[in-house]
Amino acid sequence: MSDATVQDWTESQVLLKYDESRDVKYRVYRDRGSLFQEIREVDDTPIHTLEIPEGMKLDRNSYEVLLRYVLLDVVAA
C-alpha cells in the first residue's frame, strides 16, 4: 500500500444532534491516487473510512465539516 498523509491524526469533539457530542480522531490520506478520510474512536476503534471524490480539494476546516456529516450519517444508520 502506498499512502501519503495529507492531514495527520487530529482529535476532535464533534457536536451531533440534540446537544450530543462524540470524541473522535481522523486523518486524511492519499492511497493509489484516491483521497480518503479515516475516522476512529479516540481508543482507535474504526468508525468509517470515506473516499473523497476526485477533484474535491478541501482545506482543514472543510474536513471538520465533512467529519460531522459523516458521523451524523453513521450514527443514524
Rounded CA-CA distance 14/38 in Å is 15
Rounded CA-CA distance 38/49 in Å is 4
How far from 5 is each of 17, 19, 30, 56, CA to CA, in Å?
31, 32, 6, 16
Which residues have a Cβ under 8 Å from the Cβ of 45 and sit 6 or more positions away? Answer: none
The predicted model scores a pTM of 0.81
Q: How confident is the model at residue 2 (pLDDT cuts 50, 70, 90)?
A: low
Q: Taking all residues of the chain, what is their mean pLDDT, rounded to a whole number?
A: 84
Q: What is the tens place of the pLDDT at every residue in 6-57?
A: 899 999 988 887 778 889 999 999 998 888 999 999 999 999 999 988 777 6
